[in-house]
Structure 1
Amino acid sequence: MSNVLKEPRIVVKKFLARPQHEGVGAIVRRSIGRFELKYFDPFLVLDEFSVSAPAGFPDHPHRGFETVTYMLQGAVTHEDFEGHKGTIGVGDLQWMTAGRGILHSEMPAAQGTQKGLQLWINLSSKYKMIEPRYQEIASKDIAEASKDGVNVRVIAGEALGTKSPIYTRTPTMYLDFTLNPGTHLEQPIPVSWNAFVYVLEGEGVFGNSKSLAVTSHHLLLLGTGDGLEAWNKSSKPLRFILVGGEPLGEPVMQLGPFVMNTQEEIDQTIEDYESYINGFEKARHWRSEAILSVDH
């Protein structure tokens, strides 16, 4: 029986994230934000993306939420209308708070295929119109811990006694676990939070030791309880992310890259964006270098 956990969470829903087209020529496996699972409070979208130049995600706006981009392979260059520009490579992380408005592009920065995860986290109504901000962490600076055949990269929150320096406006945990063959994990999760697992590599057993093994590209929604139990009963390493967040319990009105609480706020956002006001002033004359290089 469980030593750390009194009430381990069981898997209540399972989805295979199938490839679909997004952006310009990019392929994403979307698990949250698709028709079967529009919203898993506070999470709006989870994409596992795969993109090769010249495909990518050229100039596009956001308002009202955060995007968390975590690179698994290759590199992506991000630039925005505030003059912020940077490239994130394997294991690097960008936590972007769009707040009241951002216009940016995300394009491949290396040869071959660039792969990563992008998670959209909703912001509560009181934070939707804050100033945009970034937290970028190089792979070498992400907190890591290992114990009994379990390795974790602590992107947000805490695991194996190690805490992340990332500040999350919507209380969030984001853990990248690798379990060696034959290992067992018990990871606490705040009881009031929603949580899910997304399998990246290998196959694992989650929630109940007698459950069927789950393979890569599967999203597992976890039920109520105080944590996750996972087992790697295979002969290869198992890698997955465990993400949890405090539900906001607010109405969600979404139109593409704009996420607000009411239709009136969405209408206002469209007007702001089209009129270059209330946070979108710099959108009038800005074009990304990626777009300008294509135009010339």
Structure 2
Amino acid sequence: MTATTTPISRSITKSVLSKEQTEGVGARVRRSIGCPEIRNLDPFLLLSVPKNGGFPDHPHRDFETVTYMLDGQTHHKDFAGHKGTIGPEDLQWMTAGPQDGVVIKVIAGDSHRLKFQIYTHIPTMFLDFKMDMNQTVTQTILATYSGFIYILSGTAYIGDPKSETEAKAHHTLIFSEDSTSTVRIQTKDDTAHFVLIAGEPLREPVVQIGPFVMNTREEVYETYRNYRDGVNGFERRRARNSDGTPK
């Protein structure tokens, strides 16, 4: 008989409730990564869960953005004239795989023999879990990754049974940084819907001011000057509005 052992799960080092706040044009947003309690979580800078409303013209530089639409619709336009509409659960890359009582959508990375080959500038995994009551799932994560879970609805329990952390809706749960390469998630008398996001830390200086992310303050100030003057990547700003129409 071959003895089997249960993998040790990463534990939770911090649990933070994402409070609703006003941003943009009438938008109500729950800020997760990027709030004062979690300024950033290398390599992640920001996670926001918007409720409604919109956002005015704004620039970006030196980071990637991902929009994952759970329900409703959002319309996007940019200075280059590109525009589009994202509907419920829209994303360019997604693979869904069920197991008994658990549905996992692989947006980036891999889970339980499901893998999606999508290029990201840094190694990243982005998984969507929906779990029925009284279910347990163990997810493999590279030991070098930083990561977190954001609970969209319901209640889950994360970690080994003797030291598990209860996780309720709108909370961000940050994983311990150790050599453990699995995370155990369990539901009991409630269902749970959450996203698990993890990636390889950059381990470099990060200066984030407004919509710009660089390595030094001087680089950010230079980017603001570029944006103001419409140069070095912002040339189209001088000629067009974000809906693509001429100024």
More strand per residue: 1
2:216 is the alignment partner of 1:262: yes
Which whole-Å CA distance do the structure 1 matches of 2:213 and 2:165 have between them? 36
Answering whether residue 87 of structure 2 is matched by residue 86 of structure 1, we say no
In 2, are the aligned partners of 1:176 and 1:242 still within 8 Å (CA)?
yes
Question: In the alignment, which of 205, 208, 211 is matched to residue 160 of structure 2?
Answer: 208
Asked if residue 166 in structure 1 is aligned to residue 118 in structure 2, the reply is yes
CA distance in 1, matches of 2:169, 2:108: 22
Please give the per-residue CA displacement for 1:186-234, whole angstroms capped at 9, x wherever unaligned: 0000000101000011111111324353211000001032121000112
56, 59, 65: which one aligns with 2:57: 59
Count of matched residue pairs? 239
The one of 231, 243, 246 aligned to 1:289: 243
Partner of residue 68, structure 1: 66
**Candidates 175, 178, 181, aligned match of 1:222:** 175
Distance of 2:160 and 2:218 partners within structure 1:
45
Percent of aligned pairs with the same residue?
Answer: 44
TM-score with structure 2 length normalisation? 0.92
Aligned pairs for 1:45-194 (under 5 A) are 45-51=46-52, 55-93=53-91, 137=92, 142-194=94-146
Q: Which has the higher contact order (CA 8 A, sep 6+)?
A: 2
Q: Deviation at 1:238?
A: 1.1
CA 1:288 to 1:8, structure 2 compared with 1: closer, same or farther past 3 Å? same
Q: What is the DSSP-based 3-state SS (H/G/I as helix, E as strand, rest coil) of the residue aligned with 1:157? A: strand
What secondary structure, in the 3-state scheme, does the structure 2 residue paired with 1:41 have? coil
CA distance in 1, matches of 2:118, 2:209: 28
Bigger mean CA deviation after superposition, 256-265 or 5-14: 5-14
CA distance in 2, matches of 1:173, 1:222: 14
Quote the Cα distance in structure 1 between the aligned partners of 2:21 and 2:121. 30
Shift of 1:5: 6.3
Relative to structure 1, the CA distance from residue 185 to residue 282 in structure 2 (aligned partners, 3 Å threshold; closer, same or farther) is same
What is the match of residue 7 of structure 2?
6
Partner of 1:115: none
Once residues 160 and 187 of structure 2 are traced to their aligned partners in structure 1, the CA distance between those partners, rounded to angstroms, is 12
Distance 2:74 2:196 in 1: 23
Note closer, same or farther for the CA distance 1:239–1:172 as it changes in structure 2 (3 Å cut): same
* Rounded Cα–Cα distance in structure 2 between residues aligned with 1:289 and 1:266: 26
Aligned amino acid, residue 258 of structure 1: F
Deviations, residues 246-286 of structure 1 (Å, cap 9, x unaligned) = 00000001111000001121111011101100100001122
Q: Aligned to 1:267, what secondary structure does the other structure show? A: helix
